[in-house]
Amino acid sequence: MANTIKFFTEDTPFQTKHKTILRLWLSKLLQAEGVSRFTVNIILCSDKYLRKLNKEYLGHNYVTDVISFNYNETDCLTGDVFISIDRVRENAGLFEVTVYHELYRVMAHGTLHLAGYDDATTALRADMKKKEDYYISLLLIQLNRPNKPGNNAITSKK
């Protein structure tokens, strides 16, 4: 079975750009974190949709930017990363970054959760933030120079 990363939307017209590059980036992130076989869905949605999932499956009645569900029962990681575009837009303003930069951060964050990372403590959050920043830097290099010969930043390991 081939590794797959797919993009979907629920309850939002927002569409992400650069899906081919994002698939490669998230695949390399997972592989660098020791995940060799995977099927991951990235689902962009509204606050309302994600809040409903948060309440129904996690028992939390509040909005959040990302929820990851790992359905792993075999040696192939299988999971969904639900991302609220409403939260991404608001956070982008708060952090003074573009909507896409914040979206990439949240994609990395949710995918790192699937790979086994946790952010339950200050120290764990700091570790995840470092990893997010590292992987985003690789993606931004690729997005800024997608067709340059020898551009392998997205495939290099730290």
pLDDT of residue 154 exceeding 90, the answer is: no
Q: Say if CB 77 and CB 6 are below 8 A apart.
A: no
CATH ID of 4-155, from 3.40.640.10, 3.40.390.30, 3.20.20.70, 3.40.50.10800: 3.40.390.30
CA separation for the pair 100, 31 (Å, rounded): 23
Q: Per-residue pLDDT averaged across 25-37, rounded?
A: 96
State percent of the chain over pLDDT 70: 91
β-strands 77-84, 4-10 pairing: unpaired
Average pLDDT of the residues of the chain: 91
Type of residue numbered 99: V
Q: How does DSSP classify residue 146?
A: T
Q: Per-residue pLDDT averaged across 123-152, rounded?
A: 82
More confident residue, 148 or 94: 94
Task: Give the predicted TM-score (pTM) of the model.
Answer: 0.89
User: Which residues 6+ apart lie within 8 Å of 81 measured at CB?
Assistant: 40, 41, 42, 43, 66, 67, 68, 107, 110, 111, 113, 114
Q: Per-residue pLDDT averaged across 11-35, rounded?
A: 95
CA 2 to chain centre: 20
Q: What are the residue ranges spanned by the domains of the chain?
A: 4-155
More confident residue, 150 or 117: 117
Closest CA relative to residue 44, chosen from 4, 93, 6, 2 = 6
pLDDT of residue 30 exceeding 90, the answer is: yes
Q: pLDDT tens digits for 37-69?
A: 999 999 999 999 999 999 999 999 999 999 999
Q: Say if CB 84 and CB 66 are below 8 A apart.
A: yes
pLDDT value for 143: 87
pLDDT value for 1: 64
The string of DSSP letters for 108-143 reads HHHHHHHTT---SSHHHHHHHHHHHHHHHHHHHHHH
pLDDT value for 100: 95
